[in-house]
Amino acid sequence: MTYVLSGKGVRSQSYVKAARAEDVGATLRVLSGLPLEADTGGHVLSQVIDAP
Q: Evaluate if pTM is beyond 0.75.
A: no
pLDDT of residue 51: 66
pLDDT of residue 31: 85
State the Cα angle at 29 between 42 and 10, rounded to 5°. 105
d(Cα 40, Cα 8) in Å, to the nearest integer?
24
What average pLDDT values come out for the chain (52 residues) when binned by 10 residues? 76 78 86 84 82 63
